Each structure stands twice: as C-alpha cells, then as structure tokens.
Structure 1
C-alpha cells in the first residue's frame, strides 16, 4: 500500500456532484443526495517490517520517496514560476490555458524522454566514479594521512609548546592592554 495513504485519516470523503446553481431546490430540508462516496483506505493489518532499518535497503530504491533529503527542492517549477502576465498586459484566456497545458506536458514528456536516454548511462558513470573515489580515499588517502599524522606527532607537540610558551602570553597581554579601552558613541 502507498505510504502516503497511511498518514491520512481514514475518514469517508463525500463529494456532491449535484448542480448547486439553484439554492431553492432543497427547500424541504432534505440534504442533497450524495452521488459518489469514496471508500476509506484499507489499513494494512500485517506489517512484515519490524524497523525502519528493514524498510530502507541499499539495493531496493525508494519508489515513493524519490528525494527524501530535499536535494532538488529548487527544481519545483510550475508554469506561474516561469511565465507571468502583469495586470496591464493580458493575453486571451484560451491562449493562457493552452500555454499552461503545453508547458506542463512538454516539461513532463521531455524530462521523461531525456531521463530514458541519459539516466542509466549517467547512473553507471556516477556509480563508477564514486566507487573509484571511495576506493582511493579508503585505501590511499586515509592511510597516507594517518602515516603523516603518526610521523609528525613530534612536530605537533613542538608547535603546541611554541604556541603556549611564546605566542599565548604575548596575545594575552595584548588583549588585556586593549581590553582597557572603551568606546562611547555620543550623538552631537
């Protein structure tokens, strides 16, 4: 079952499809007959997942939540974000409606076509690149940094001694000297 439906209330939704143009139609006190009634969503009784660690897998993509960290929030573009007419200049209503429809359809279908053409090759190249970078970092960069850190431990100790014996007293005394100054702003 969809995860977005689990979060909603399980109330029945009633939609009146009757003509509401005649307010005197129901003078007898009866309410209009409901023409359509949505069934409440069926709750899943048996939940095989015991924790969120079981639900989230490295090999199974999250189909319902495709941008869980909001990386691409800047790409939530609608027609009104791109094209807007001021009140002083207006095109015809039909032109505006067709422009909106063509914008949305072309945006969605061109994205789908480009995704079909590029998604798999870009995924393979990105996976290969991140695998190589991870391997280099794990097996070369980190060990080299650790070797340098171990080999230069004496230099770190010497630098700490120099800072604490020579530079720290100098900056403390300079701070105390400058701490006696006070600046008062007066409006003349």
Structure 2
C-alpha cells in the first residue's frame, strides 16, 4: 500500500465501456463474461418447453423475450428520426445524433432497470402468488361447486337445444343450401 502512495509500480488500466452484446461486433467467438451462466452445450439439444422442467432458477440470458411480448419496443434511430432529402443536417451532426441516441437509450434503460427491476420483480411475484392462491383455493372450488349443483340445468338446456333449436337451424340450413353464388369479373 505504501508503494502506491509513493508512486511506485502503478499500471494504467484501459476500461472498454463498449456494449459487447451488439450482434455487429460478433466475430464468431463468444467471450467469457462473469455475469453469464456457464453453459455445457446440453441446452441446445433440449426443446425450450423442457427447460422449465430442468431448472426453474437458472435464468435464460440469451433469449429474454422468447414469446415476443415486447416486439413493439424494437425501436431504432431510423424509426424515430429521419431527415428528408430536401432538409439535411451535417454528416457529423447526423452521426453524433445517432451515436448519442443509441448510447442514451441503452444506458438510461440499464440505469432505470437496475433501480426498478428487483422491486418490480418482487411485487410481481407477490401479486401472481396471491392471484394463484385465490384462483386455486377459492375460485376453482366455487366454480366446481356451481357446476355440480347446476348439472340438471345443463342437461335441461341440452334437451331444449336438441328439441327446438337444432331442427330449426337444420331446416334453415337445408333451405339455404340450394342457393349458390358465382363471382365473375366483368
């Protein structure tokens, strides 16, 4: 520690803040990251529906929206800002605007998600646990009880449909089956 105070043996360290998840920068080799879970190659041969059966706790880091719930949020710079041919800013202004848009979009999202992701995950988990408990222990038994108690009404309704409605709709269908429509271009 005294060596550092006196200025001896200090090394310069270069920190690269570039987003490594960009597909443009992918050169075929996947670098090792400390925050990524190690994969043993077994997941690629397993269908995605079986992944939940294997491990409920291991997050799927590569596919974060497998069902495409947030496809509407795939926004790029060109989707938001576009200059027509008649009105153009300088090339440097356009490049810097594009770069600042992408950097601010990514980093502001990351900062906000750090602040909100864990509390919202906890609140969502509590909410869905309460809703599941209410559904399993209150709503489903009530519905089953009502269905058991009104079985006679279901049978009566089926008889009414079979005696009155089905013959009427069958005869209307047979009457209308004689009509034919031909479309022709003139």
Q: TM-score with structure 2 length normalisation?
A: 0.68
| DSSP-derived class of the 2:93 partner | helix
Unaligned ranges ≥5, structure 1: 1-12, 14-37
| DSSP-derived class of the 2:64 partner | coil
| DSSP-derived class of the 1:66 partner | coil
Unaligned ranges ≥5, structure 2: 1-26, 32-38
Inter-CA distance 65–184: structure 2 relative to 1 (3 Å threshold):
closer
Q: Which residue of 2 aligns with 1:163?
A: 161
2:157 & 2:122 partners in 1: Cα distance?
A: 47
Q: How does 1:60-139 map to 2 (within 5 A)?
A: 60-139=58-137
Matched residue pairs, number? 148
The Cα RMSD (Å) is 3.1
Q: How does 1:25-44 map to 2 (within 5 A)?
A: none
1:39 & 1:154 partners in 2: Cα distance?
A: 67
Specify the structure having the higher radius of gyration (Cα): 1
2:132 & 2:29 partners in 1: Cα distance?
A: 50
1:97 & 1:170 partners in 2: Cα distance?
A: 71
1:40 & 1:171 partners in 2: Cα distance?
A: 65
> How far did residue 175 of structure 1 move?
2.4
